[in-house]
A and B are shown apart, each in its own frame.
Chain A
Amino acid sequence: MEKAIIQTEDLRFSYTDTDAQEGAPLVLDGIDLKIAPGSFVAVLGHNGSGKSTLAKHLNGILLPSGGKVYVQGMDTADEEKLLDIRRAVGMVFQNPDNQIVANVVEEDVAFAPENLGVPSAEIRRRVDEALAMVGMSEYAAHAPHLLSGGQKQRVAIAGVIAMRPNCIVMDEPTAMLDPVGRREVIETVKSLNQNYGMTVVLITHHMDEAAQAGRLVVMAQGRVVLDGPPREVFAQVERLKAVDLAAPDTVELCWQLRQAGLEVPLDGLSDEACAQVLYDLLRRQRA
């Protein structure tokens, strides 16, 4: 594997101060993860699995109780490096309303670079570019509160892009959006990754979103339980069920057909792939 942009080593974390207490519950219990530059990694898990806690470690919002987190080789526990770390890894959160500070879209996007002391001509360039990257250029002069949820979340993403991070970590960015808003945000995320080479870590509990990533990490009880391409991870239906996660409906259907004694592969993840698997099954059995 090439050099990781983010790396965790035996990362452990507890919200209570556990130095003294033995046996206090660990929210993260020994996470070893390497995020490759330019990759699109989804982290899937249910509430309490530790996925949001993990996200907050990736740019030093939280610091490990044990183990290490490195961002481009910098230890997140090193206070002197914190600004550089935050510039390298930007965060987008669940609620777009909590992330928008200005009354005009382009001013909101300019907020972070202004605070970084970027010269104004450069700010202009970055804002225009960031809005173009999320497909919101035509809304530059709009008031954010009149935008839809998906549009607001794209503005929040643009605000992070304007800092020119190498990696964006998104903590359930679509949880509060309707299906159209969700699609807008996920398309934006994919475009940032594919067209601009941005490293993306997407924390989600939506399986259909996780399925879009290049790599899927499944968390349960503070540990990584599955890690691989979505097609392979989702095919492990029993292991997903064991940690109270369901497989996507497409895979679940094929799995149930297998339980009924049919020979069906479990890698038909997308609509197209699943339809093809079913078609082949029907044709084979008739022949």
Chain B
Amino acid sequence: MEPILETRQLSHIYSPGTPFEHNALRAVDLTAYRGEYLGVIGRTGSGKSTLIQHLNGLLKPTSGQVLLNGTDIWSSKEATRAARFQVGLVFQYPEYQLFEETVYKDIAFGPKNMGLDEGEIDRRVREAAAFVELDDEILEKSPFELSGGQKRRAAIAGVIAMEPSVLILDEPTAGLDPAGVERILGNIQAYHRARNATVIIVSHSMEEMARTADRLVVMHDGAIPFQGPPREIFTHAQELEEMGLGVPQITRVFQRLRALGAEVDPSVYTVAQARDAILAALGKGAV
């Protein structure tokens, strides 16, 4: 696998030299690979938002480096600019940042700033809108006429329209109902697949991340205690609970089941895996 975005010994201190001095990141080494779907999990205050703001150059490291395709994003003005365009960042509650008269103009804002011509801007706006399932009729509406879920998707389309090779989203499903969550995750997945884009999702929902991510990065107290495939991560159930993160409900059920004396796979974390594990234990095989 080819690395696309890396941090090397990345540290960040807020308000250094004041009574509010705070070490938000402590020598973090993280690698995101091309085409990977990465989940970053941590509770509020663990440093995950600080981390992602470094990944497209919104925050400057106190020490350490951020590399995009092997180049330090702070090595030149061009490198910083490249990071801003290639690494798309969708903030928490991005719908609060919609400001244009129409949804179309709002989505077009990023591509316009990139200096693209009209035809290319139009193509990108329509493609981005298609990824998030907003039809032409909605593009002509004011963002303020949309439902909460539609606004959220319009805001995400604004970043997708810049066609970033790395798409980072901070809590993209926060405050949505289950149907809204599935839709947004499906939209992100569609972009990920169609463009072989690297996706980094920051979340505190273990269940959601377990279902979608190839690899999980656990943040705690400005560092990364665990990273790996979900199955591996959830074997650290005890430590995760102590960090205030917890494991998926199905994992907890299977731990109890094992404690009762049943011999079942302890690394199960989705309903489908659990069903197959039970059927296997009964000798019926998967359905």
Contacts and interface: CB of A to CB of B under 8 A. Distances in A.
A285 B282 contact: yes
Interface string B229-267: 000000000000000111011101110110111101000
A14 B180 CA distance: 23
Most B C-beta atoms less than 10 A away, residue of A47, A244, A245: A47
B275 interface: yes
A176 interface: yes
Interface in B161-219: 174-180, 204-207
B262 A271 contact: no
Interface string B254-287: 1011011110100000011011001101101001
A47 B262 contact: no
Interface stretch (A22-30, A129-137, A194-202, A276-284): A276-284
Interface stretch (A3-11, A83-91, A160-168, A252-260): A252-260
A282 B265 CA distance: 14
Contacts of A272: 256
A271 B284 CA distance: 24
Given A148-B44, A180-B244, A246-B178, A282 B253 contact: no
A274 interface: yes
Nearest to A244: B179
Given A260-B284, A282-B262, A175 B175 contact: yes
Interface in B33-69: 43-45
A78 interface: no
A208 to B, nearest CB: 7
Give the interface residue-count category, chain A.
Answer: 35 or more
Contact of A253 (B177, B178, B274): B274
A249 B271 CA distance: 6
Contacts of B274: 253
A35 B261 CA distance: 43
Contacts of B260: 275-276, 279
B149 A260 contact: no
Contact of A278 (B45, B174, B205, B253): B253
B271 A47 contact: no
Most B C-beta atoms less than 10 A away, residue of A178, A179, A246: A178
B275 A256 contact: yes
A281 B148 CA distance: 43
Interface string A234-260: 000000000011101110110011001
Contact of A176 (B175, B244, B252, B254): B175
Given A179-B244, A260-B287, A271 B256 contact: yes
Interface residues of B, number: 43
Most B C-beta atoms less than 10 A away, residue of A179, A246, A248: A179
Contacts, number: 100
B147 interface: yes
A205 interface: yes
Contacts of A208: 249
B175 A249 contact: no
Contacts of A47: 147-149, 176-177, 179-180
Contacts of B256: 271-272, 275
A94 interface: yes
Nearest to B93: A176
B49 to A, nearest CB: 12
Interface in A13-50: 46-48
A246 B182 CA distance: 11
A114 B207 CA distance: 44
A240 to B, nearest CB: 11
Contacts of A274: 253
A181 interface: yes
Contacts of A279: 257, 260-262
Contact of B177 (A205, A252, A260): A205
Interface of A: 46-48, 94, 148-149, 172, 175-176, 178-181, 205, 208, 244-246, 248-250, 252-253, 256-257, 260, 262, 271-272, 274-276, 278-279, 281-282, 285
Given A244-B179, A253-B278, 13 more contacts: A47-B179, A148-B45, A176-B175, A178-B44, A179-B246, A249-B250, A250-B253, A256-B275, A260-B284, A271-B249, A271-B256, A278-B278, A282-B282
Interface of B: 43-45, 147-149, 174-180, 204-207, 244-246, 248-250, 252-254, 256-257, 259-262, 264, 271-272, 274-275, 278-279, 281-282, 284, 287
18 contacts: A46-B180, A47-B149, A47-B177, A175-B175, A179-B246, A180-B244, A205-B177, A245-B178, A248-B249, A249-B253, A253-B275, A257-B275, A257-B279, A274-B253, A275-B260, A278-B257, A278-B262, A281-B282
